[in-house]
Amino acid sequence: MKDFFSKLLNGMSIGIVVSLIPNALLGEILKLLIPHFPALQHVFDITVFVMSLLPVMIGVMVGITFNLTPIQTASVGIAAMVGSGAIQKTADGLFALNGIGIVINTGITAALTVLFVQLIGNRLKAYSILLMPTLGILVPGMIGYLLLPFVKTSTGLLGVAVANVTTLQPIVMGALIAVIFCLIILSPISTVGVATVIMLSGTGSGAANLGIVAAGVGLAIASYKANSLGTALAHVLGSPKIQMRNFFMKPKIAFPMLITAAILGALAGLLNIQGTPYSAGFGLSGLVGPLNYINLAEGGWTAKNVSIMLSTFLILPIVLNLGLIYIFSRKLKMIKAEDYKLNFD
């Protein structure tokens, strides 16, 4: 069971990063350039479309992680898309993309499909190419589709719980929300999904954003010795979710990031760092968080606001994580670089 869960999370992590990185890297930059170069709108639209392919990518990468055959892997990808909720039928009978869907339900559907494929094994023989994709839709795909409303409701309840935290004193609220989102970004649950369900905005969104920044920067620093520079940067430029497997196997690896998140979240309440439901789920990816703060801050691009942005989104996350990682690794001996090793081969 531990090996199954490990492979599932590893496949999900790769699929998530591959799908989200193009928009994360280019999205906010393209928004600034499009008014001057309208032709770039097509590039931006494509990166948004690629994000909606996340369920398929999760299914395919999970299939590859479990060493399934090409037909079986494709079937997992199809079933994952069915259970994701990323496509909706409009009143006109057309099919429309609906964001990235419910990530946790995508993962559940992919897991069920892998189990189904393993149960079937080679029994279909020469008929695999005819029957496996169809059976993948009819059995695990439809189970995932039927589970979707319940999982969506559960995600909504989590969002309501987070929203209730925002009624507390701003500094305490900021610390708690930052820690909560630091944990959510390391789980299969979508931070953007939770933030949009409860329409998390204002300092609550700013705190959530800084919680993700704490996770991304901290994991990039902690994982650098065990991985390549590009993989380490993927935690910041892409998503900290690539550490899902390691986090679930050894939750203690996130202790430095959680403490950093609490401090940054408290500063969000103290300095009135704001954001939108969209920016709450991205951290530094595509500079979504920092740019939204500047856009919402009184005065815009003033020296004071730029100083706050650089301090809270870049300098403090690096300094705090460096110090805490040193303490937890060298002094307390609780974590080591190998704990953050990622295998994308």
Residues 51 and 71 in one domain: yes
Residues 148 and 228 in one domain: no
Q: Which of 94, 1, 110 is nearest to 58 (CA)?
A: 110
What is the Cα 7 distance to its own chain's centre? 17
Residues 139 and 179 in one domain: no
| Assigned domain for 161 exists | no
| Assigned domain for 160 exists | no
Q: Which of 204, 216, 209, 213 is nearest to 174 (CA)?
A: 204
pTM (two decimals): 0.71
Domain final residue pick, 128, 155, 182? 155
Residues 222 and 316 in one domain: yes
Residues 151 and 173 in one domain: no
Residues 124 and 175 in one domain: no
Q: What is the pLDDT of residue 66?
A: 93
Encoding tokens for residue 230? 């590009």
Q: What is the pLDDT of residue 41?
A: 94
Encoding tokens for residue 53? 């392919």
According to DSSP, the residues that pair with 88 across neighbouring strands are 96
Q: What is the pLDDT of residue 137?
A: 93
Cα separation, 180 vs 182, whole angstroms: 5
Q: What is the pLDDT of residue 166?
A: 67
Other beta carbons less than 10 A from residue 53's beta carbon: 18
SS (HEC) of 189-225:
CCHHHHHHHCCCCHHHHHHHHHHHHHHHHHHHHHHCC
DSSP secondary structure letter of residue 240: G
Encoding tokens for residue 47? 């990166």
Q: Which of 149, 150, 166, 151 is nearest to 280 (CA)?
A: 166
Query: Domain of 227?
Result: 166-345
Q: What is the pLDDT of residue 345?
A: 58
Cα separation, 226 vs 223, whole angstroms: 5
Other beta carbons less than 10 A from residue 162's beta carbon: 22
| Assigned domain for 96 exists | yes
Domain count, the chain: 2
Backbone angles phi, psi at 275, to 5 degrees: -160, -175
Between the alpha carbon of residue 17 and those of residues 54, 58, 171, the distances in Å are: 9, 10, 32
Q: What is the pLDDT of residue 254?
A: 95
| Assigned domain for 30 exists | yes
| Assigned domain for 319 exists | yes
Reduced to 3 states (helix: H, G, I; strand: E, B; else coil), residue 97 is strand
Q: What is the DSSP string of 51-80?
A: HTTHHHHHHHHHHHHTT--HHHHHHHHHHH
Residues 129 and 180 in one domain: no
Q: Which of 255, 230, 188, 214 is nearest to 342 (CA)?
A: 230
| Assigned domain for 15 exists | yes
| Assigned domain for 13 exists | yes
Instruction: Enumerate residue ranges in the chain where pLDDT < 50.
Output: none
Residues 143 and 226 in one domain: no
Q: What is the pLDDT of residue 167?
A: 66
Domain final residue pick, 121, 155, 189? 155
Across 18-159, the runs of DSSP E, i.e. the strands, are: 87-89, 95-97
Backbone angles phi, psi at 193, to 5 degrees: -60, -45
CB of 40 closer than 8 Å to CB of 263: no
Residues 127 and 170 in one domain: no
Cα separation, 90 vs 72, whole angstroms: 30
> Position 274: which residue type?
Q
Residues 210 and 309 in one domain: yes
CB of 205 closer than 8 Å to CB of 282: no
CA-only gyration radius of the chain, Å: 20
Residues 150 and 179 in one domain: no
Residues 121 and 176 in one domain: no
Between the alpha carbon of residue 290 and those of residues 23, 28, 47, 105, 314, the distances in Å are: 16, 10, 20, 30, 9
Q: What is the pLDDT of residue 278?
A: 62
Domain final residue pick, 155, 183, 217? 155
| Assigned domain for 315 exists | yes
